[in-house]
Structure 1
Amino acid sequence: MLGHSNVKAKIICLCLTIVVLLGACSGQESNGATEDGEFNDSVKLVLNWFPKSQHGGAYAAQENGIYEENGLDVTLEPGGPQVSPIQIVASGKAEFGLAHADQLVMARNEGIELVSVAATMQGSPQALMFHEGHGVEDFSDLNGRQAFIQPGIPYWQYLKNSYDLSGVEELSYSGEYSIFMQDPEVVSQSFVTSEPYFMELEGIATETLLISESGYDPYNIVLFTTKEYIEENEETVKRFVDSYLDGWYSYQDSPDTIHEVINEANPEIELEALEFEEETQREFIFGGEAEQNGVGYMTEERWQLLIDQLLELEMLDEEFDPNEIFTTEFLPEN
């Protein structure tokens, strides 16, 4: 009898274990929601460069618990010269990435189905930098000078197509500024949010000419994911976009704390440089159409214009519908 009792007890325990396991499994939804409505989704965001103020909203959302409040466990992966957020996200090794709008259009031209879900910067802070007082008032004034430009960068192709720059000696940009600092007639590509500050530290006064003044002004630091990920994880995408945008408003209210977090993630950049970048990028993030419509705002007209410009430059094989590459579905309604 004792043996039969032991067997019976073991059977009862086994049945209870199965019931518990089945109950735990049934409490999980395909979108990461549990029975009580909570979420616990792990996602990765690949930055377009080493951590800087241009990523302040992403870090603020993490530091201030905004991701967590929205049921997200987010990993922020730094970018760099050897890191391609587009390739990483397209391969499924990360759920979200940051890139410039023209990079995403070029990727679509290569058959990579990415979708932009929010534009961090309404305009581009890309610019040509030159020594103060050295006569560059228009793009045509570049003739007769050396210009350090990244090979293949779309805006340079646009400038050459719009202006006669046959008198410019193009030099490959590598991020090194020794020649620029020594020769007051040299011009270099830059971002108004960073390089002028570093030149000032070297005692060199500079001026800049925004590329956008030529008519080429794509969205910058665009948040994107894949078409497939949106189709399978619509709720997660919505919560991530909400968190990311809320992070930018949080960063706007108290940037100093987040600068310390970014400095810890990237010790190569000092707090003063982060402060300069944060101040000079405000208009690009919170100004323009974002002032009335909110951070992240995008329009079909802007995407269509960019596609048309790249088509004219023969950098695209064929035209495609801009709605294939962006959506406002996850942006707040205004």
Structure 2
Amino acid sequence: MRTRYRMERRALLTGGTALALTAVAGARVPLAQTLDKVSFQTNWRAQAEHGGYYQAVAAGIYRRHGIECEIRMGGPQQNPAQLLLAGRVDFIMSNGFQALNYVREGLPFLTVGAIMQKDPQVLMTHEGNGINSFEDMKGRPILIGASGRVTYWPFLKAKFGFTDEQIRPYTFNVGPFLADRMAIQQGFISSEPFAAQQAGARPRVFLIADAGYQNYQTTIDVSQRMVNEKKDLVQRFVNATIEGWSAYMKGQDVAGANAAIKRDNPEMDDAKIAYAVQVMNQAGIVASGDALTMGIGAMTEARWKSFYEGMRDVGRYPAGLDYAKAYSLEFVNKRVGLA
């Protein structure tokens, strides 16, 4: 089922002619000049959670930055990180864990921007059943998928005293959740709660990021070689992407982007897209924290350090890992899109 793979995708290990132009933040390139062609691989089928990239294409933002961007839609049989490592794509959508994996494996790839300041992963239960906090979930059965067990679950164990004995297999549909008013299951804030609502439930949602889980999501990953050899192109791609996300989250002329999302993924409809954008805005998934002052895509050394140390302390990564190699702050924190 679609939901099955959708929830697993975050944990997957997980070109062109140069323009004669000096790179500056937010630079616009005349359309008459040759466009640099790049490919961007998403981590799943088209959806509102990818909206900023589609907006940058549909609204001509990439082209104004001298780029012809091909969005390649992900799916259950694709591993974006493997495609990047093999040189089959220029940029991929990923997450903080993948960036640290590059370092652990000695691979010359890194993250150059983080679109989602908050990981959209949630635990959800039913309103009115007495489960009102993460603390109330201690000792209770929780439906968790395989990827969650190696990403956010160690954080929950350390933070709230959860144990592996609480884990129950996640069936990747809301059926068991609907059948049990005491059920607790994983989900994304922009997806599973909507499905539960459509089935008549009243889900209560707990965003793990709001409990201190610091994983960056929907990151932009690229090879170190491309950063070294085409720095101007990487900067223009990041700037254009940020502008696309800024417009999309504000709902500025997004009809073209949404039409492209629905074209690529017929499972999407206007109601699903509208719900996802609404809750992402309400929860500050894209625009919160550092992004409010430094612009969408913002990252900081302090946050990366905290994320690595937290995952190191729960045994996810070894001590002494040179986590600073996982990312570059050179291309973000420039207040692009804030005006």
Question: Which TM-score band applies after superposition, normalised by the shorter structure?
Answer: 0.7 to 0.9
- Partner Cα separation in structure 1 for residue 65 and residue 44 of structure 2: 26
User: More deviation in 253-262 or 66-75?
Assistant: 253-262
Q: 1:165 to 1:318 in 2, by over 3 A?
A: closer
Kindly indicate whether residue 119 of structure 2 is the aligned counterpart of residue 120 of structure 1.
no
TM-score for both structures, normalised by structure 2:
0.84
Larger Rg: 1
- Partner Cα separation in structure 2 for residue 159 and residue 332 of structure 1: 30
Q: After superposition, give the CA deviation of every residue in 1:113-132 in whole Å (9 maximum; x if it has no partner).
A: 32111111111221101111
35, 46, 49: which is aligned to 2:44? Answer: 49
- The match for 1:40 is 35
Q: CA deviation at 1:102?
A: 2.2
- The match for 2:70 is 75
- Partner Cα separation in structure 1 for residue 143 and residue 93 of structure 2: 25
- The match for 2:208 is 211
Q: CA deviation at 1:168?
A: 4.9
Q: 1:59 to 1:240 in 2, by over 3 A?
A: same
Q: 1:167 to 1:143 in 2, by over 3 A?
A: farther
Kindly indicate whether residue 134 of structure 2 is the aligned counterpart of residue 134 of structure 1.
no
Counterpart secondary structure, 1:42: strand
Q: Which amino acid aligns with 1:40?
A: L
- The match for 1:191 is 188
Structure 1: runs of 5+ lacking an equivalent: 1-28
- Partner Cα separation in structure 1 for residue 182 and residue 44 of structure 2: 29
Q: After superposition, give the CA deviation of every residue in 1:127-177 in whole Å (9 maximum; x if it has no partner).
A: 101111122223232245321112233110111123332485312334222
TM-score for both structures, normalised by structure 1:
0.85
Counterpart secondary structure, 1:99: strand
Tell whether the 8 Å contact from 1:126 to 1:210 is kept in structure 2 after alignment. Answer: yes
Kindly indicate whether residue 178 of structure 2 is the aligned counterpart of residue 181 of structure 1.
yes
- The match for 1:259 is 258
**Which consecutive segments of 4 or more residues in structure 1 shift more than 4 A?**
34-37
- The match for 1:148 is 143
Tell whether the 8 Å contact from 1:259 to 1:275 is kept in structure 2 after alignment. Answer: no
Kindly indicate whether residue 307 of structure 2 is the aligned counterpart of residue 312 of structure 1.
no
Tell whether the 8 Å contact from 2:44 to 2:76 is kept in structure 1 after alignment. Answer: yes
Q: Which amino acid aligns with 1:276?
A: Y
- Partner Cα separation in structure 1 for residue 20 and residue 207 of structure 2: 49
What is the aligned length? Answer: 306
User: More deviation in 57-66 or 248-257?
Assistant: 248-257
233, 239, 243: which is aligned to 1:242? Answer: 239
Q: Which amino acid aligns with 1:239?
A: R
CA RMSD, Structure 1 to Structure 2 (Å): 2.3
